[in-house]
Structure 1
Amino acid sequence: MPKIVDHDQRRAEIVDGFLRIVARDGYEAATTRALADELGVASGAIWHYFRNFDRVVEAAAIRTIDNTTARIERASSGLRGLALFDAVVHEVLPFDKETRDEAAVIVGFWGRAATRPLLTARMGGETVWWDRIRLALDEAVEDGELDPATPTERIVHLLASVTSGQQVAEVLGAGSTTSEEHGAVVDTVLLPWRTRVTSTPSTQR
């Protein structure tokens, strides 16, 4: 009787292996050969489940986005205003080992996608991030934490660019940027709109 293979499970195991290599040895170490060794299979076995290595990187990027979104859902429960804002930002910016590893995966994917027009990933999970940031800013205005004239929609778009830039800076700087420095960049975006009732920016932990 032929062996039944769960393709979704095997694909997930390959992505798990890729992410383990990135976390342990760095993004550049995550090659086809290294991935095959990590999984204990021949290189060709990987291609039964992925068309090529680009698709492995894409799947890892999707997994990373989904993991971040799940953390945001947990961390932001019951929060509002700037407390909610800080909780979301802490799950997106490269503040710790986990989010720094994630930055390496995402920036690595961007690098491949920039030269491969047909390589696209389902990044819809990011919509949750910005919807949550938008809600947090609107609540902060309502609660008096931010000035009533705060251009919340423009700030959301600015933060999307800023957080992407901080992930790139983290990867290019090989971890030389501290979590305090990452947080300071985001705090500076809101600084002109903070009111006297606003507590000291908490993104600089």
Structure 2
Amino acid sequence: MNRRLCDWLEDELGLAKMAEDLRRDLDQNATLEEFVLTILKGSVIYAPSEIVKIQNLLEQLKNQRDVERAKYKADSLMKSGEYESAILVYQSILSQDWDESVNKKFYGKIYGCLGSAYGYLFLYKEAALMFKEAYSICEEEDMLKAYIYCCYRGLPEKDYVKMLSGNSMFLSMSAKIKAEMEEAKKENDLDFSDEKLITWKSENRRIDKKS
């Protein structure tokens, strides 16, 4: 954000209008966000609707704390499927001194995001630890459900049963998860009964004859 950039845009890229607009921004002590928007508008790469979205995002980030911006970065990495990179950013947030101006549940959500990232990588034991921590902070049912599910997937059966024993809440959630899994299995299983198979063959023979 300096005049050398303006000169380079004008001399090397022939973007005299953009350079002029940026010099005006500098003279008016424009913010970095305004400077960036001037470049985007002059680049003709983005549609007006896209620039409005970027402008809203920049405004949102400007008003956020450093830790919130860091989480946004990690969330963006998650959305793009870069789970390992997202994990590193989430971990870096948790390893620093916690910002007391932020609700503690904010950090609980980060543990939950870490659990999701590990889950996408099929690292269920690591995911379970993160969801357990998330639940201890947020006390939300979804966090507990994710914790129990990851334990179910990541632990040997005897260890899983041992973990559930004596805890009515865990047992109830485990039963709920298994019921949902059974229901999903029924919905996704194909019905290959003899009657259905005969009908399917008959219909396909008619199609073959027509063709």
The two structures have a TM-score, normalised by structure 2, of 0.27
The two structures have a TM-score, normalised by structure 1, of 0.28
User: Between Structure 1 and Structure 2, which shows a larger proportion of helix residues?
Assistant: 2
